[in-house]
Every structure is written in C-alpha cells, then in structure tokens.
C-alpha cells in the first residue's frame, strides 16, 4: 500500500554471517543482512531488505546469567554446547550469541577453554554464531585470537569493539575473516567515528555491524530507539559510514526492577514481555538482528517477523 | 505545502484591527505560519483567502479531544515524523474493549479497572485511557444498556462507541453523548448519518475505508458535512499494512502534501491474533487511539512503559533533584554512594540498592541530567562539583566517616576528588547490578 519514502538515495550495505559447506564452512545456513533502501517495514513489497533475525544469547559461565533464565532452563545452562543446540532446535532461534562470561572470573587465565567452548558450540549448533569476548581489556588479545581461530571459515560475528578498545577484536576478525560488532554509547556521531576507526585499520564496511547500545524498556530504551532511527535515516540519505546493518540487545531486560522483583508466578511472562516489546520496537527502528535471553521470547518474535515480512525466510530477499 | 508568514500576510486584510487578538496582521500571520493560529479569528478574510489558508495553517495533524473531565485526552497535533526531530506530544489513548454481549458485571469490572488502575514509573503515574464498547449484539437496546453500565460506574473515563449502524450508535450516544465519546465509525455508506450524530453530540468521529486514498476521500466528505474532528481507521485486514500506511500518513500530513490525511490514527488491535505485536506497532508508529482487549499483567506494564518511552521528550533528560536520598534506614556509619541526577541512573541504582538490603545514602549531584559516562566525558561531573555538593547537602554532619563510593565509570576522577575534598574515594562497579555484591564485600567500617 505505501509508496516508498521520498528523497532517499542511500542503501544499507550487506554483511554476511555464517558459512555453509558450499561456502567452505560448516553452518547449515548463512545470512546476508542489509540491503534496505527505505525505512524499516516499508518497501517490503518491492522485496527490499531482509527479515530481522532473532539471536538467542547464551554464556559459558551461567553464574553470571539472570536467575530468571537459569531457573527456567535448569541444568541445561551448565552444558554450553547443549544449550546452543536447544537454542536452535527447541527455541527456534536464527543465531546463537555466545558470551564468554567465564572471563569475568578474577584472574582468569584458562585460555584453552575459550578455544574449546567456541569449537563445542559450533558443533552443538549449525546456526551462525556471534561470540562476545572478554570483559577485561588486558586479556582481549588472547581471547579474540582464540575464538577467532576456533571459528575460522565460519564467518562469525565477533564482539565487542568500542572506541578505545577495538584493535584486538578487529585484528582477530581480519585474520580469520569474521565480522565485528561495533558498539557506541547511544550516540550517532560516536557510532560513525568508530566505524571510521575500524575501517582505517582495515576492517571492511561489509564486516561491520553497528550496535548502538540498547537500553532496556523503561531504562533508556527511548534513547536507543531514536538513535537507531537516526542511524538508519542517515544511512538512507547517503552516509556510507553509517550504512551498516544494526544489532540490538536490550540485555539488561531481565535485571530491571519490574522484571527482577515481579511476582514469581508471572515473572517469566513479565520477562518475555519486557524482551519482546524492546526487541520488536528495535526492529521497527531498524535493527537487523535482535537478541534475547528468555527461551519463550524467541518463538513470539519469530512469529511476529514472519507475519510482518509476509512469510519471508531468514536470509531471503 | 506550508506557507511562510509573509505569504500568509499578503492574503490578510492588513487592517491591524486587533480583532483576532493579535496586535498586527503580521504577528497573526506568523502565528498561522507556525501552525498555532486559527484563521477563523479573522473576521475580514474573503472566502478565497480562507480556502488557501485553511488547509495550510491548521496544525498538520488535527488535534482531537476525547472524553471530558480529568481523564480526557487529546491526540494529533504532531509536527514530526521522527521523535528525535523534536518530540511526540500526544501519547495514544489505549482503550480496553468491552462487548455489549457480556454480563454487566464483566463490563463493570473492566471499566472499574481502567478507572482505578495505575502504575508508577520514574515518578510518573501511568494509566490506561478508557473503554471501547463494541456492539456485537446488533441490538440498539442491548448496546444502550451496555453503555449505561459503563456510565453507571461513575468512573468518567473516555469511551469509544463501536457500532457500525447509525441507529444503534445513536442509542449509545443518548447515554453518554455529553461526554465526548469517540464514534466508530463512518463508512462511505453511513457517513451522512454518522456526521449528523457527530454534529448533534459534538463527538469526534472515526472514518473507515479500504485504503488511504479512500480514507482521504472520506475525510473530505465529512468536512463537507461540517465535521473536522476525525480519526483515520487503519485496522486493515492484514497487520502487515499498518506500519507502511501509518508512516505514509505521517509523512504526507507533516509535509502537508495530503492535508486530507492530516488526522490522528485509530487502530483496533482486537482484529489481530498477535495482540502484543499490534500494540507495539501502534505505539511506536503514530497511533492516536488504540483499542485492545483488557491486557494481562505482563503486557499491561510493558505497554504503558513503551508508551512512556516513545513519548518522552528526547531533548530533555529526565532529571532528579540533586541531594541526599536515604535507602532503608541509614545511620552515621552507612555508606555514601555518589551518582548523577539522570533519573534513569537514579532509579536503576536505587532499585539495586534496595534489593541489596544495605542501608545507605544516595548522594545525587547535579550533572544536568547527564548519565555518568557522558557527564565524565563532558566534564560536568568533576571534583569541584563533588566538593561543593558535599558542603551544600551537609554530608559532613550526616555521616561520621569520610568515605565516598563513586561509579566505576567515574574512576578517572578518584584522585582529584580525594585531593579536592579530603574524602577517601572508593571506586564502585561500572554496572549497577553489581552494587549489592560490592557493598557486601567491600564496605567495612
């Protein structure tokens, strides 16, 4: 019904995640994100743009994870590869995002475990993988080198590059042909600046995904929503430094007061609603990947996207 | 397209008669140009000038008021496509649906719930907006009774009367027509009697049609009947069409390229299976009135919070008053935690402190609403501010120790604050979620 918006000449660039056997990897599917030349949800009839993907977030040390997820999921969370399998087969996610939370332990130095868990998760699921590296700058280089190498040929998405802390992750990404999550603190100019920095050291534009930082619903989400709209619109107007697909994860959703302190009887429902409202709104604002942690949120988002994108499949144009 | 003040001025009588309430025709023209004036205030305009000005000087989206009394609300009169361009002014009214086939007690209980339920978030009271009474019986008397049940609760909340048949509609209006209920809806076949009802009761009216072009034709027809308080029904058969249609309406009405679409949007989400999805799309993208089944507890809070988020002025950080806020029952030896007066920071930290069960003082300094990260980067959070705030809020007499915990992101300032204040600085965690653990492990007196 809608015509395309006036006066827009730009286009979001492509990023490819995952590599199938035909692409010299082992993933069962790969996705090409980006390509949109209009506002989100518009122009679908002329087959512009891809359906948003749902990433399910897991970690390798669940003691750092929300008790809402761990108590809902049970023992499964202690077996990272099995958890990844469940994300694909039970929950129906499009991607798995692995957080290496074990690196948060004081004095972490078990580097071989990083290689091991990355490899095991890659065997546990055929989905393309996002890996979130260390929380400690001092060990960045070793960690990213390890997970980059373990995922060689799989076209991972490696995170997270920030201004002042992007060299290690970028180096690993370039060495093993992975893409990079570029995160900036809810600021369009800083997002642009970081993309320029990454490109200056050799990361190609089609290997960058913008993470504008997503506050959770009620706790800064409005700023994230608007910065995503601004980035998308700037890209459509021709700013190529911002014309990368975006990834959004309102990762604090399960720890905000409304969810954390909810009546246990409905706590899971509140958690799911909190994730769902922020994730769907992020897609409305232009995110290509939305990330959630509660298993029940995944099928709801998938259903909504499938309906709104007229039955399009992930990765299809 | 929008006219400039000087173009408008050329069409005015240039008498400077002041009868419009403005000192000169030029100031009146400037008001009209900014969308804030009313051309009908000029008694000397000729018809031609009125026609030219009419479409281009009213706000690009008509302001429509629904209900009366304390709970009344207004929608429309928006000026931007994206909230970051300025702000969105009028949050959508969210109306719980009740059916005239329901027993009176059920209608009553939903109505009373909307009347009394409220959630407090970030210091603001959030409520649902009203009820939408649907005529599923097809019977005018049954409909009228259902409206009567809603009225009898004495909640005085705004109403939508959803009856396609003008005869049925009128029976409902007889019960509540004095309270500006929203009439749903006029179609190509019913617009004449519906407009007559809207006129008789002074009520706003929703127009329904199969696409945007026909909706535009409908508003013109209703305008010709003298009705301008209109809403556009975008409850199309497929929810897929909502965002593109709502976006097109907003773009074209703001650019004034299709003034016939310059009205608020109506969305009936009860037509779709994916209730939460429809609500999210309506709130994010321009709906003025949204009808929904009574929501469960999880969707209720999420819906109201999303609406609050989208309609927060993006240019004004929400601020707390700087000062000292006790958590629990702190004493002379309790920890003091410094943070900024950005209200989201405040409420986040406060939530974690409360659940840590360590009584303490939150020491809120004035960073003009900036977050910790931005306040440090911009130099707003600095040692002088901390020193002055300690004096101003008399922290020295409040606690017997001289130790202050600062946010992890403010760690570069720790040395300077110690030098300037003489207080020992402890660097807390970056992430507020870790504050409870931190206090239990690190705070020893």
Average pLDDT score over residue span B358-371: 92
Q: Is residue A35 less than 8 Å (CB to CB) from chain B?
A: no
Give the model's pLDDT for residue B135.
98
pLDDT band at residue A3 under the 50/70/90 scheme:
very low
- Average pLDDT over all residues of chain B: 92
Question: Residue A21 pLDDT > 70, yes or no?
Answer: yes
pLDDT at A46 over 60: no
Q: Tell me, what's the pLDDT at A45?
A: 46
Q: What angle do CA A24, A27, A31 make, to 5 degrees?
A: 95
∠ CA B42-B43-B44 to the nearest 5 degrees?
95
Tokens linked to B101: 């086939």
Interval B88-100 mean pLDDT: 97
Question: Which conformational region is residue A47 in: left (phi greater than 0), alpha (psi within -120 to 50 degrees), or beta?
Answer: left
Q: How much is the pLDDT for B438?
A: 93
What is the predicted pLDDT for the residue at A2? 40
Beta-bridged to residue A211, according to DSSP, are A183
Inspect the interface and report whether the beta carbons of B309 and A221 lie closer than 8 Å: yes
A282 touches chain B (CB under 8 A): no
Inter-chain CB proximity A219 and B344 less than 8 Å = yes
Residue A252, chain B, CB below 8 Å: the answer is yes
- The pLDDT value given to residue A144: 96
What local confidence, expressed as pLDDT, does residue A79 receive? 98
Q: Which CATH number does B323-442 carry?
A: 3.40.50.11600
Predicted pLDDT of residue B347: 84
- Rounded to a whole number of angstroms, the distance from the CA of B104 to the nearest CA of chain A is 28
CATH fold, domain B5-57, is: 3-methyladenine DNA Glycosylase II; Chain A, domain 3 (1.10.15)
What is the nearest CA distance from A6 to chain B, expressed in angstroms? 9
To the nearest whole Å, the CA of A40 is away from the closest chain B CA by 9
Question: Which residues between 246 and 285 in chain B have a beta carbon less than 8 angstroms from any beta carbon of chain A?
Answer: 247-248, 251, 274, 276-277, 280-281, 284-285
Contact assignment for A273 to B298 by CB distance below 8 Å: yes
Domain A15-308 -> CATH class = alpha beta
Which of these ranges, A37-51, A157-171, B216-230, B237-251, has the smallest mean pLDDT? A37-51
Q: What is the phi/psi pair of residue B198, to 5°?
A: -60, -40
Find all residues with CB under 8 Å of B224, minimum gap 6, and list them.
none
More confident site: B10 or A91: A91
On whether the CB atoms of residues A179 and A158 are closer than 8 A, the answer is: yes
- Segments making up each domain of chain A, as ranges: 15-308
Stronger pLDDT, B61 or A48, i.e. the higher one:
B61
Residues of chain B neighbouring A304 (CB-CB closer than 8 A) = 274, 277
B155 or B124: which leads in pLDDT: B155
Predicted pLDDT of residue A1: 32
Mean pLDDT of chain A: 92
**What pLDDT does A41 receive?**
76
pLDDT over threshold 70, residue A5: no
Nearest CA in chain A to B345: A219
Where in chain B is CATH 3.20.20.20? 64-310
Whether residue A4 is predicted with pLDDT greater than 60 in this model: the reply is no
User: Between chains, do A2 and B284 touch, taking CB under 8 Å as contact?
Assistant: no
Shortest distance between the Cα of A75 and any Cα of chain B, in A, equals 24
Per residue in A147-206, pLDDT (tens digit) is 999 999 999 999 999 988 899 999 999 999 999 999 988 889 999 999 999 999 999 999
Question: Smallest Cα–Cα separation from B293: which of B275, B311, B274, B280?
Answer: B275
- Is the CB of B310 less than 8 angstroms away from the CB of A225? yes
pLDDT in tens, B22-79: 889 888 888 888 777 777 788 888 777 776 676 666 789 999 999 999 999 999 999 9
pLDDT score recorded for residue B223: 93
Please give the pLDDT value at position B319: 79
Q: How far is B169 from chain A (nearest CA, A)?
A: 31
Provide φ and ψ at A239, rounded to 5°. Answer: -80, 100
In angstroms, the CA A156 to CA B184 distance is: 52
- Calpha distance B342→B317 (Å, rounded): 7
* CB B180 within 8 Å of CB B171: no
**B299: closest CA among A251, A290, A220, A280?**
A280
pLDDT of A279 > 90? The answer is yes
Q: Band of the pLDDT at A47, cuts 50, 70, 90?
A: very low
CB distance B300 to B267 below 8 Å:
no
Assigned fold of B64-310: TIM Barrel (3.20.20)
pTM tops 0.80: yes
Quick one: DSSP state of residue A5?
P
pLDDT band at residue A62 under the 50/70/90 scheme: very high
User: Alpha helices of A21-79 — where are they, by DSSP H?
Assistant: 67-73
What ipTM describes this predicted complex? 0.95
In sequence order, the 6+-apart residues with CB closer than 8 A to the CB of A67 are none
Pairing outcome for strands A31-33 and A15-17: antiparallel
CB contacts under 8 A, B 418-437 vs A, are 433
For chain B, where do the domains classified as CATH 3.40.50.11600 start and end?
323-442
């Amino acid at each position: 019904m809608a015509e395309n918006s006036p006066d827009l000449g730009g286009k979001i660039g492509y990023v490819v995640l995952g590599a199938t056997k035909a692409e010299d990897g082992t993933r069962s599917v790969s996705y090409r994100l980006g390509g949109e030349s209009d506002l989100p949800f518009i122009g679908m009839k002329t087959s512009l743009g891809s359906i948003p993907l749902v990433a399910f977030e897991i970690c390798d040390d669940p003691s750092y994870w929300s008790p809402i997820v761990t108590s809902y999921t049970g023992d499964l969370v202690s077996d990272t590869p099995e958890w990844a399998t469940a994300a694909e087969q039970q929950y129906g996610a499009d991607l798995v995002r692995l957080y290496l939370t074990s690196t948060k332990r004081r004095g972490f130095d078990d580097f071989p475990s990083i290689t091991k868990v990355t490899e095991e998760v890659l065997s546990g699921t055929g989905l393309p993988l996002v890996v979130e590296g260390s929380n400690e700058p001092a060990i960045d280089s070793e960690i990213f080198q390890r997970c980059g190498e373990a995922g060689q040929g799989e076209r991972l998405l490696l995170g997270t590059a920030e201004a002042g802390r992007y060299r290690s992750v970028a180096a690993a990404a370039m060495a093993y042909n992975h893409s990079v999550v570029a995160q900036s603190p809810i600021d369009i100019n800083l997002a642009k600046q970081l993309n320029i920095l990454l490109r200056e050291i050799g990361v190609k534009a089609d290997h960058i995904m913008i993470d504008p930082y997503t506050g959770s619903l009620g706790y800064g989400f409005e700023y994230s929503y608007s910065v995503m709209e601004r980035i998308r619109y700037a890209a459509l107007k021709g700013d190529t430094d911002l014309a990368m697909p975006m990834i959004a994860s309102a990762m604090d959703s399960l720890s905000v007061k409304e969810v954390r302190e909810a009546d246990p009887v409905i706590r899971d429902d509140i958690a799911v609603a909190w994730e769902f409202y922020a994730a769907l709104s992020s897609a409305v604002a232009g995110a290509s990947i939305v990330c959630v942690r509660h298993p029940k949120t995944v099928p709801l988002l998938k259903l909504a996207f499938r309906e709104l994108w007229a039955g399009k499949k992930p990765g299809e144009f | 397209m929008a006219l400039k003040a000087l173009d408008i001025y050329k069409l005015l009588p240039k008498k400077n008669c002041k009868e419009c309430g403005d000192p000169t025709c030029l100031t009146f023209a400037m008001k009209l140009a900014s969308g804030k004036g009313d051309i009908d205030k000029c008694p000397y305009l000729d018809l031609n000038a009125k026609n030219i000005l009419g479409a281009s000087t009213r706000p690009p989206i008509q302001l429509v008021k629904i209900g009366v009394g304390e709970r009344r609300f207004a929608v429309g009169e928006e000026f931007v496509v994206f909230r970051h361009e300025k702000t969105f002014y009028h949050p959508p009214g969210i109306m719980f649906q009740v059916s005239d086939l329901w027993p009176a007690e059920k209608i009553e209980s939903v109505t009373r719930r909307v009347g009394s339920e409220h959630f407090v978030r970030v210091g603001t009271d959030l409520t649902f907006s009203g009820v939408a009474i649907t005529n599923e019986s097809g019977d005018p008397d049954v409909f009228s009774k259902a409206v009567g049940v809603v009225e009898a609760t004495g909640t005085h909340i705004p109403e939508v009367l959803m009856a396609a048949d003008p005869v049925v509609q009128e029976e409902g209006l007889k019960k509540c027509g004095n309270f500006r209920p929203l009439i749903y809806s006029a179609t190509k076949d019913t617009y004449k009697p519906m407009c007559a009802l809207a006129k008789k009761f002074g009520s706003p009216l929703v127009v329904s049609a199969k696409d945007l072009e026909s909706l535009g034709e409908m508003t013109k027809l209703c305008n010709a009947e003298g009705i301008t308080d209109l809403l556009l029904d975008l409850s199309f058969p497929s929810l897929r069409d909502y965002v593109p249609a709502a976006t097109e309406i907003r773009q074209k009405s703001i650019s004034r390229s299709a003034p016939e679409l310059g009205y608020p949007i109506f969305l009936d989400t009860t037509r779709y299976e994916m209730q939460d999805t429809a609500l999210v799309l309506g709130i994010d993208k321009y709906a003025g009135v949204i009808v929904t089944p009574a929501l469960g507890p999880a969707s209720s809070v999420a819906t109201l919070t999303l609406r609050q988020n989208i309609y927060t002025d993006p240019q004004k950080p929400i601020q707390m008053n700087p000062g000292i806020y006790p958590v629990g029952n702190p004493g002379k030896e309790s920890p003091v935690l410094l943070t900024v007066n950005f209200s989201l920071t405040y409420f986040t930290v406060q939530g974690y402190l409360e659940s840590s069960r360590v009584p303490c003082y939150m020491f809120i300094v004035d960073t003009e609403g900036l977050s910790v990260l931005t306040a440090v980067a911009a130099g707003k959070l600095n040692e002088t501010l901390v020193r002055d705030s300690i004096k101003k809020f008399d922290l020295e007499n409040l606690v017997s120790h001289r130790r202050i915990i600062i946010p992890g992101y403010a760690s570069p300032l720790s040395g300077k604050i110690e030098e300037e204040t003489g207080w020992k600085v402890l660097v807390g965690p970056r992430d507020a979620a870790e504050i409870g653990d931190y206090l239990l492990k690190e705070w020893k007196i």
